Structure 1
Amino acid sequence: MRDSALPDLTGRTALVTGASGLIGGGIAWRFARAGADVVVHYHRAERPALDLVERITEGGGGAIAVQADLTREAECARLVETAAVWRGGLDALVNNAGVQPVQPLEGMTADDWRALYEANTTSAFGCTQAVVPVLAERGGGTVTHIASIEGSAPAPGHAHYSAAKAALIMFARSAALEYGPLGIRVNSVSPGLIDRPGLADDWPEGVRRWTGAAPLKRLGSPEDIGNACVFLASDAAAWITGTDLVVDGGIGARPTW
């Protein structure tokens, strides 16, 4: 199961929220390939979560699927407790769960705004607060928020999403400041455009623009984001906290004038 190209996380346990989705599944898979036991969180999409667990276990890794509604603080606490009990502790949390609706700012309601923040930002807050005592008991650990390049460069129709991702980046920095003395490192990862089945057909112009502008001339993959998360959870990143790791194929280096 273990990929020797990745940092060795054998003996560690990671919780990945929203792991039934495309990016979350890629993150969980790369943790498993790094040797970690993985708790695969899902909200409604049980089948993909179970399929991922089966894929990991068939490859010789350790994984379980756990359901929770992370818009509820008590559910965040239950998820973390269940994950910690499974292997006797946790070493890494990746707050990946979230939604990405497209909605013009004109006509957006406060309820729309709150619903997105609950799913994308408050969920990360709840899981982080729940996991800190667990990590501290083991002498430290890591928390990684999945933000977005839209946290600093918004797109039309994503006002609430961009604002929520910007909040996650700053939450990571704030938590790094306050939880560092406990040995807990907190960072964020900001993906660029991640490929999915059918994306080139659904949005051909956007894919052409991206691949034409990005220095590395391709879209990202879920595994690219997983690799970044594994690195931040590893000893190779032992002096990295409070930072935002941008994983965008270099698109941010492109001049806009």
Structure 2
Amino acid sequence: MTVGIAGERKAALVTGASRGIGAEVATRFAEAGWDLTISARSREPLDELAHLLGEKFGVRVAVAVADMADAEQLDALAAAHTEAFGRLDLLVLNAGMGQKGLIAELPVRRFDKLYQVNVRSAYVLLQALLPTLRSTAEVAGAAKVVAIASITGVHPEPELAAYGATKAALISLCETFNLEESEAGVSATTISPGYVNTDLSEWTKDKIPAEEMITVGDVATMVEAVSRLSRYAVLPGVVLTRPGTNLGRA
């Protein structure tokens, strides 16, 4: 069991935890003995996951329903985690929204929604949870933030300009966060994968078979690795690409 401040278990907050990458990350950390807050827009799958993890691994799992586009709900999510656990060793910013469309055709309102969910929500949560991250790092030595970005935020991909732009902004946000906070033991890492085998990539599985995509386990393994780094090891970003001759492709 992982022991932290005053003998308490370490604690993580995972957004977008009802399925896919988020659910796998939550499961990995519950298995390692961490307490958790899991969040998504729908309560039922969160309640099911919380019950499963609590029963199987004997950890505390708090459920917080939140819409990433609603700043008040994000503030409430941050407050709920801090009230429940009083510490935050790992913040996993996994919730996000995808959107395919040509620049010439995608409505600006869709871009605005992408920005709200993929970038603004991260800013709001970082700001709201920074006091808890700092206090945890002060006592435990380090606190980590992991943001799930996308390879399209590093390398352009046709018809994913709006999505890629928001992920590039998320990467920039985390890099600046490191400049401001890493000396205090709080640092951020972006993980930028190509296509991951989840329901969000169903639209392209006629061209890229699911079995040839990056797995949710691959991404969760990288999150685990970041959580084990000391305060003196800052990993700004990781790109996970699929095999082949073009390592910049999604």
Question: TM-score, with normalisation over the residues of structure 2?
Answer: 0.86
Q: Distance in 2 between matches of 1:161 and 1:149?
A: 11
Alignment of 1:79-90 (within 5 A): 79-90=77-88
Superposed CA deviations along residues 55-82 of structure 1, whole A, max 9, x for unmatched, are: 2112123312111122232322211111
CA distance in 2, matches of 1:201, 1:162: 17
Report the CA distance between 1:239 and its aligned residue: 3.1
| Deviation larger for 118-127 or 183-192 | 183-192
- CA–CA distance in 2 between the matches of 1:131 and 1:199? 30
Is residue 124 of structure 1 aligned with residue 122 of structure 2? yes
Secondary structure at the aligned position of 1:229 is classed as: helix
Match of 1:27 among 12, 25, 45: 25
Secondary structure at the counterpart of residue 142 of structure 1? strand
Partner of 2:185: 183
Per-residue CA deviations over 1:190-223 (Å, capped at 9, x if unaligned) read 1222113697896232228xx7xxxxxx422212
Partner of 2:151: 149
Change (3 A) 1:255 1:222: closer
Residue aligning to 1:248: 241
For residues 59-98 of structure 1, the aligned pairs below 5 Å read 59-60=56-57, 61-98=59-96
Residues 80-110 of structure 1: per-residue CA shift (max 9 Å, x gap): 1111111222111111111112222212232
> 8 Å contact 2:144–2:187 — kept in the other structure?
yes
Long gaps (5+) in structure 2? none
Aligned-partner Cα distance in 1 for 2:231–2:239? 18
Letter in 1 for 2:102: P
1:230 to 211, 217, 224: 224
User: 5+ residue gaps in structure 1?
Assistant: 3-7, 212-217
Instruction: Report the equivalent of 1:55.
Output: 52
Residue 49 of structure 2 aligns to a residue whose secondary structure is helix
C-alpha separation in 2, matches of 1:224 and 1:75: 30
1:30 and 1:223 in contact (8 A); partners too: no
SS in structure 1 at match of 2:172: helix
In 2, the alpha carbon distance for the partners of 1:111 and 1:170 equals 23
* Bigger Cα displacement from structure 2, 130-139 vs 195-204: 195-204
1:46 aligns to what?
43
Please tell me the root mean square deviation across aligned C-alpha atoms, in Å: 2.6
**Kept in 2: contact 1:92–1:141 (CA 8 A):** yes
Secondary structure, aligned partner of 2:63: strand
- Measured in 2, the distance between the counterparts of 1:184 and 1:130 equals 14
In terms of mean alpha carbon deviation, does 45-54 or 239-248 score higher?
239-248
TM-score, structure 1 length as denominator?
0.84
- For residue 122 of structure 1, give the secondary structure of its aligned residue in structure 2: helix
Moved more, 223-232 or 199-208: 199-208
- Give the alignment of 1:211-230 within 5 angstroms: 218-230=212-224
